[in-house]
Structure formats: structure tokens, C-alpha cells
Amino acid sequence: MQRPDAAPSVSSSRSRSWPRSVIGFALGVAATVLLIRVEPGALGGPSHREPDRTLAVASATATAAPTASTAAIADRDRDRDRTIRLSDPRQSAQIETTPAASAPIPLTQPLAARLAYDQAATSQLTVPIDGRVVRLVREIGDRVKAGEPILEIDSPDLGQALADAAKARADADLKRTSLARVRDLYDHQVVARKELEAAQADQAQANAELERTELRLRNLNAAGRVRGQTFTLSSPIAGLITERNATVGQQVLAASGNVLATVTDPSRLMLLIDVPESLAGALSIGTPIDFTVDGAPGRTFHARVERIAPQVDTTTRRVQVRARVDNRDGALRPEMFAQALPSGMDGQTATRVPASALLQFGARTIAYVAIGGDAYQLRDVDVATQQGGAAWVRSGIQPGERVVSAGALLLKSEQVGQ
């Protein structure tokens, strides 16, 4: 027979287990809601709406981003502080270094330019007298000294000028002798004063005519180089004959103004740059110019501004700037087209290094700097611009440091191996 007091004990036990059942049921429902897709239509929302995955993507990104960013920062710090040493000292023969230097930052776009003769070192020869070419003394490409003949011209006008000079010289001598005789007679009171004055006037006229004829010969550059009536066209400067427009038998006229020969010093050239109006005001005398030409690929030449045109060209709306070029090695020729980069037009400077010294790894630009012996240090650099095989960096390399211009990839492989 069941005890009366047993029922309360069972009821009490069930009452204590009920909260646990409720809690378990609630946890199961919560898990089901998180794992099972709930259609928005069942809750009264639009039936074709896709489930919102923003929370899941944002959570995954937020979890991965700190890890990647932290790894990149740690890798960068490790590379910056790490010194690379060559495992084989013989590999140092493959490493070349170049000193970095402070230099004005050039324009990002080159300007159109061309090379021309330096007018201060060029002479275009014309004939001051009519005649016919009878002999060619020098050819194109010959070097001449000042005063050396280039060609000879037979000129009847020269013969007439020589005759006039000889006649004037003889007349001046005669008038000088006559004046001396009249003065002696006047001193002895044999002749009147008016005869002395007339003799003085005649001598003055004769001297003036002699001076005119001699100036004429000097203008023809024929003094001391006359053979009959043959006129010798000589070079007034030392240089190279770059042009000759004469043949034997050719008739030449002084009034035509035709250039028969051009002599210039090829070691001195001018770079003519067409500068936009907006940039012309930033240039000044002495501004350095870097330029390249198609005829010398991979090489950068240098010049300095010497003249700036005072007016704007009405056709191109540009200002012509002349820069002097040192061409002693003969690598450049007149009329070559060039791409010019005026430096420091905005007054900013940076450290100039060879473009080959820079390596690109993703968003990073790095370079290696020699720190002594076979040791090199990796640097992150901030590049301002690159032009003509050179780069200008704002930070990461200091002027005077030696950067690795050849063999940087070898150092990178050594770094990976270490």
C-alpha cells in the first residue's frame, strides 16, 4: 500500500526537474534558429528576400584583417631592421653601388626640344664679292684653324679693288712729296700761302682715298692672300666644316647672300626648348636641364639655361628657351630631337638614385644600401618620380649613401634564403 507521504516527494522531485527541461528546450530552439535558414515570408516579410549575410562577411573580414595587417607590419619591420650578408663573398663581384645625391625634382612630363649650332661658335661664310669658284680647298667634315682657306674664287671685282688701292697709294705718295716741296718753297717765301693750303688739301684727299681702298680690301679679307685677282674664302674661326654649298665653276654673287660654307665648333651646342607659358616663369638663367635623344638610348645628357626669349611665339604659344650643351665627346648632333626635363622648377629637391636600384614588391618600393664590407640593408623608399633612368626618392635613402644599382635581386634572394 502506497504511503501517503510518498506523493509529495515525487511531486517535489518533478518540480525541481522542470526548470532544467525548460532551459534545455530554450537552448535547443536558439541553436535551431541560428543554424536553420528562416524564410522572411514566414514572418510576414517579403517572400523573395535573400538572407542577410553582411554580418557573417563582416565578421570574417574583421577576423582576417588584423591578422594580415599585423603580419605585413611585422614583415616590414623585420625587413627594415635586417642586414643582409652575402653567403658567398665571390658574389660581391655581381653587386654594383652608386652614390645617392641630392637633386631638384624634375617635371613629370618631358618637353619637346631640339639641338642646334651654338651661334656664338658658328660662322656661316658668304662671299663679299662677285666671282666664279675655281678651287675647293676643304671638304665637309674637315677641321680648320682660324684663317685657313676653304675655297678660291676668281673675281674681276677683286682685281679692280686691288688696282684702286694701288692707284690710291701711288697718288698719296705723290701728294705727300708735292706737299713737302711746296712747304719748303713757302718757307723761303717763293710761293704764296694759298699754294701751300692747296697742296695740304690734295694730300688729305689722297690719304682719304687710300684709306677707303684699303678698308675695301680689308672688308674682302684679301689682305696678304691675293694672287692676281683670286679671292680666298677663309674661315674666321677654328672648327669643323659642317656645310659647303659650292662647286667648281659655280658663279657666286655677293648680293644673293647665299651661304657657301658653315664652320662650327661641334663641342658646343644649344638645346632649344619650347616651354609652355604656364612654366616659363619658373625657369631662370642657370636652371639645370636633363634631356635624352633617340640617337643615344639609355643615356641622359645635361645642359643649363642660358637664354629665355622675351616674347611668346604667336603660333605655338610657347616660349623658346636656350640651354648650353657640352658635347666634347661628340655624341650629339645638330637638329636632333630631344625630350627635356627642367629640374627644380617648383623648388623641391629629393635624393637621386638610379632607377635600377628600386625593386617593387606589391605596394612597397624597396632598395638596398651598402653599409660596409659585404653587408647591405633593405630600405623602404618613397618615390617622387622617375625619368630617364633615374629616380628621385623623398625618404628612405640619404644623399651620400651608396645604393645597390646592380644585383639587388641577388640580395633579395639571399634575404629570402636567410
Local confidence band at 346 (pLDDT 50, 70, 90 cut-offs): low
Q: Is the pLDDT of residue 13 over 50?
A: no
Sign of CA dihedral 213, 214, 215, 220: positive
Same domain for 370 and 325: no
> Alpha helix (H) ranges present in 102-238?
156-187, 193-219
114: phi > 0 → left, psi -120 to 50 → alpha, else beta; which? Answer: beta
Element (H, E) at 250: none
Question: What does the pLDDT look like over 146-202, one tens digit per residue?
Answer: 989 999 999 888 888 888 999 999 999 999 999 999 999 999 888 899 999 999 999
24: exposed, middle or buried (Cβ count in 10 Å: 0-12, 13-18, 19+): exposed
Identify the domain boundary among 342, 373, 393. Answer: 342
- Range 307-321 average pLDDT: 90
One domain for residues 371 and 395 = yes
> 312: domain range?
111-118+265-342
Q: List, for residues 267-302, the tens digit of each pLDDT value.
A: 999 999 998 887 777 788 888 888 999 988 888 899
C-alpha cell at 76: 616590414
Distance CA 133, CA 154 (A): 6
Half-sphere exposure of 354 (CA within 13 A, CB side): 17
Angstrom distance (rounded) from CA 287 to CA 284: 6
Residue 178 placed within a domain: no
Q: Examine the domain organization and report whether 329 and 379 are in the same domain.
A: no
Write the Ramachandran bin of 373: left for phi over 0, alpha for psi from -120 to 50, otherwise beta: left
Q: What is the pLDDT of residues 123-160, one digit of tens each?
A: 999 888 899 999 999 999 999 999 899 999 998 888 88
> Tell me, what CATH number does 393's domain have?
2.40.420.20
In this prediction, what percent of the chain has a pLDDT beyond 70?
74
pLDDT for 24: 54
AA letter at 244? R
Three-state DSSP class for 352?
strand
Assess if residue 370 is contained within a domain. Answer: yes
Top mean pLDDT of 19-23, 152-156, 362-366 is at 152-156
Q: Is 176 inside a domain boundary? A: no
Whether 155 contacts 229, CB under 8 Å: yes
> Does one domain contain both 355 and 407?
yes
Of 294, 320, 342, at which residue does a domain stop? 342
- 38 domain residue, yes or no: yes
Name every residue whose Cβ is closer than 8 Å to that of residue 197 and which is 6 or more positions away in sequence: none
358 and 411 fall within a common domain: yes
- Domain check: are 360 and 405 in the same one? yes
Domain-located, residue 210: no
Per-residue pLDDT at 351 exceeds 80 = yes
Indicate the burial class of 355 (C-beta count within 10 angstroms; 0-12, 13-18, 19 or more).
middle
Q: Answer for the pair 144, 150: CB distance below 8 angstroms, yes or no.
A: yes
377 assigned to some structural domain: yes
The verdict on pTM exceeding 0.95 is no
DSSP 8-state class, residue 343? B
Last residue of a domain, one of 296, 321, 342: 342
Residue 299 located in a structural domain? yes
Nearest 5°: phi and psi at 177? Answer: -65, -40
Under 8 Å CB-to-CB from 144, ≥6 apart: which residues?
A: 138, 150, 235, 238, 239, 240, 241, 263
User: Domain check: are 276 and 336 in the same one?
Assistant: yes
Residue 203 lies in a domain: no
Structural domains of the chain, count: 3
- pLDDT classification of 20: cutoffs 50, 70, 90: low
Give the chain's end-to-end CA distance (angstroms, integer).
88
> Cell numbers 518540480 label which residue?
15
The answer to whether 146 touches 251, Cβ cutoff 8 Å, is no
| Nearest of 153, 374, 392, 362 to residue 253 by alpha carbon | 153
